[in-house]
Structure 1
Amino acid sequence: MFSKGQVVFAILFAISFVIIIIISYRKDIKLHKRFYKGSLKVLLYFLLFIASLFAIKYLLK
């Protein structure tokens, strides 16, 4: 099992990591909107493609 110090370190590390990620994302939000404009469409098409592969797999069984 983990010691009390290791658990405290893990919790503090996770909290600080999430805070740093949020700050850096907010700092770069203008760049994300400019350079990744069509990425949501790509994600949706990719998920649709994966779902269709699963549908084909279960229909041909």
Structure 2
Amino acid sequence: MFSQGQIVFGIIFFIAFVILITFMYRKDKTLHRKNYKGVIWILVGFLAFFALLLAIKFGLKE
């Protein structure tokens, strides 16, 4: 399906991509903590809303 060269390229690309993403994340870590403080509450609210919708859906079926 894939040639040996394509497999090697894919593996090298994946490794380089992961290293680059890790490096950039570490570089911006302090900036993200400052700018996105409190974002966890948005996630909690979204999950609670989704759970409420599921409860209503299954509650009205019965």
Give 3-state SS (helix, strand or coil) of 1:59's partner.
helix
What residue identity is the alignment partner of 1:57?
K
- 5+ residue gaps in structure 2? none
How far 1:55 sits from its partner (Å)? 2.0
* Whole-Å separation in 2 of the counterparts to 1:35 and 1:41: 14
Report the counterpart of residue 46 of structure 2 in structure 1. 46
Paired positions, count: 61
* Whole-Å separation in 2 of the counterparts to 1:6 and 1:53: 46
Q: Where has structure 1 moved over 6 Å in runs of 4 or more?
A: none
What residue identity is the alignment partner of 2:26?
R
1:1-61 → structure 2 map (5 Å cutoff): 1-61=1-61
* Whole-Å separation in 1 of the counterparts to 2:52 and 2:11: 40
Give 3-state SS (helix, strand or coil) of 2:19's partner.
helix
Say what the alpha-carbon RMSD is for the aligned residues.
1.2
